[in-house]
Amino acid sequence: MISPPSHFRVILVEANAVDARLLDAMVEASRSGFKVEWSVATLAEALKIVESNEADVILLDLALPDSAGIDTFKTVRAHSGRLPIIVLSSSDDEELALFTMHEGAQDYLVKGQIDSRLLLRAMRYAVERHRVEEALALERNLLRNLVDNLPDYIYAKDADGHYLIDNAAHMRLLRLGKQEDIIGKTVFDFFPPEIAAQYHADDQAIISSGNALINREEPSLNAAGERRWLSTTKVPLKDHQERPTGLVCIGRDITEQRLAQEQLKEANAELSKSQQDLLRALGDLKSAHEELRSVQLQLIEAEKMKSIGRLAAGVAHEVKNPLAIITMGVEYLLNQELSESSAGVLDDILAAVKRADNVVRGLLDFSAPKNLEVRTEDLNAVINQSLNLVRGELGPGFKVIKELDPNIPPLNLDNAKVGQVFVNVFTNAVHAMGSTGVLTVRTYAKQLTGVGENIGDSRSESFRVGDTVVVAEVDDTGSGIPNDKLNKVYDPFFTTKPTGKGTGLGLTVTKTIIDLHAGTIDIGNRPEGGARVKIMFKA
C-alpha cells in the first residue's frame, strides 16, 4: 500500500518576484500541507517541471516573459495532462476567467484580492476536484470496458431515437469502426425503411408508456443483409423525476438457437412419422427441452439485469454532472445582490437540486456508501431542516406536531446523510397517510436500563446498559404496514407504494446510514393505528 504524501507539491509560475514571494509566504503561513516545491518565472521553466508529473497543483500567472494571456494557460494545460491548474491574474476579467474555467482551469484568482485562507481553499478544492475527476474517469473507463467486452448488443437512445452510447458488439453487427459512426444517428440510417419504422415505433411505445419490453424474440438484419434472430430487452431511461427520456437496450443473437429449434422440430416430425411408438418419449423429450430452455432464459435474464444495473450506475454518475452545474449556478446567483424573496426562491431551488442529487445517488449509496463526514450536530436542527425539505409534500390536510426536547445532547453526525434519513422517513409517512393526517415528531434523551436489540455487555454490540442515547420517533396516522411485510421493509427494491411512487431503495439507504452511525432503527405499527419509526443514536 502506497503511503499518502507528507505534503502537496505546488508549482508556482510567477514572473513578478514580489508576488512570487508573497504567494510563497501565503502557502507557507497556511500550515495546510501544501508547499511550494518549484517557483519559476517563465513558461519554458514551468514546462520542464510539469512534464515530470511530480506536482499536485499549479499556480499559474498568465503574464510571463515568454508567453502571455490565454496562450500561456493552453500551453501549460497541453503539457500537464490532468494536473489541476489555478490561474492567477492581475486583471479582474470575468470573460477571461470564464474562458479559462471552460478550458479546464480549477479556479481563477485575482492577485491583490487573495489572502492565505482563500488561496488555501482554492488549492484544496482544486486537488479534491482533481481526485474526484480521476475517480469518475476511472469509473467511466471501467463501465466502458465492461460494456464493450460483453457479447450482447448494448446501446442507449434518446427520446427521438438517436443513439447515445453503443458497445463494440453492436458496432460489429452494423459493421461500424468507431463510435462516431453511430452516435447521433437513428435506425433509419442502418436498416431498410419498413424494419426501421417498426423498430422506431417499438421504441416510442416504450418511452411513452414507461413499460419495459423483456426478452422478446424478433427477426432482424445485420449490415450484410443477413436475416438474424435477436432476444431483445428494452427498458425506459428515466430522469430524476421518473420521466422517460430515452431507453436502454440489450440484445442477444439467438439465431443458432432458433435454427437448432427448427431443426429439432423437423427431426421430431420425421421421427413421429416413422416411429409412432416413440410419440410418448418424444413428448417427454420436448417437455424436458422446454424446461431447459426456460431455465436458460432465466439465466440470460439474470445476466442482463446485472448488465443493466451496471449501466444504470454509470448513467447515475453522468446525471450528477448537470445537477452539479445547476448547483454552481444557483450558488453563484446567491452571491449577487438580490431581493429577499429572490434569495428565498434560489434557496428553495438549491435545496431541491440537492435533494434530486441525493435521489440519483441512492443506488450507489446503499451498495457502496461513502465515508461519513461527521461533525457535532443538533439533531433537532437536522429534523427541522428535513421537515422544511418535505413541506412540498404536506398539503392543507396535514398537521405536523413537533415535540422536540431542547435539552438533548449534541451528536456526532453526518448532517447530509442523517437529513436524508429523516427526509425518507417523513416522505414515507406522508405517502402512507394519503391526503390528510397528523405527522408527529419527537426527540428525547434517556439512559438504557434494560437489554434489547443491539444492547448488551459485548463490545461488538452498538449499545450497552447505562449508555445515554438520543431517540427520535416519527408517528403517522396512516394505515400502517402489513405484519407480513414488516421484515421486508429494508430489502432493496421492496416497496408497497404504487408504481412510479418509489424505487424501494429509501429504507435500504436509511438502514445503511443508521448502521454507519452505529445507531438503530425500528419500524412498527402503533396500537392506535399508523406506523412509528424509532431511531436511536448513542450520545
CB atoms within 10 A of CB 209: 11
Listed range (84-88, 115-119, 316-320) with the worst mean pLDDT: 316-320
Question: In sequence order, what are the residues at sequence separation of 6 or more whose Cβ sits closer than 8 angstroms to the Cβ of residue 404?
Answer: 380, 383, 384, 441, 442, 443
pTM of the model: 0.36
Q: What pLDDT, on a 0 to 100 scale, did the predictor assign at position 505?
A: 66
Place of cell 469502426: 177
| CA–CA separation, 383 and 149 (whole Å) | 47
Phi first, then psi: give them for residue 76, nearest 5 degrees.
Answer: -65, -40
The CATH label, of 3.90.1200.10, 3.30.450.20, 3.40.50.11810, 3.30.70.2860, for the domain at 150-253 is 3.30.450.20
Three-state SS for 321?
A: helix
Confidence of residue 450 (pLDDT cuts 50, 70, 90): low
Q: What pLDDT, on a 0 to 100 scale, did the predictor assign at position 469?
A: 94
Write the single-letter amino acid at 204. Q
For residue 82, pLDDT over 50 is answered with: yes
Domain 370-538, classified CATH 3.30.565.10, yes or no: yes
Place of cell 405499527: 525
Q: Residues 291-307: pLDDT tens digits?
A: 666 545 544 433 443 44
Q: What homologous superfamily does CATH list for 8-146?
A: Response regulator (3.40.50.2300)
Q: Residues 310-330: pLDDT tens digits?
A: 544 565 666 677 878 888 888
Question: In the sheet that 227-238 helps form, which strands lie side by side, from edge to edge?
Answer: 163-166, 153-158, 244-253, 227-238, 213-221
| CA–CA separation, 4 and 419 (whole Å) | 32
**What residues does each domain of the chain span?**
8-146, 150-253, 266-360, 370-538
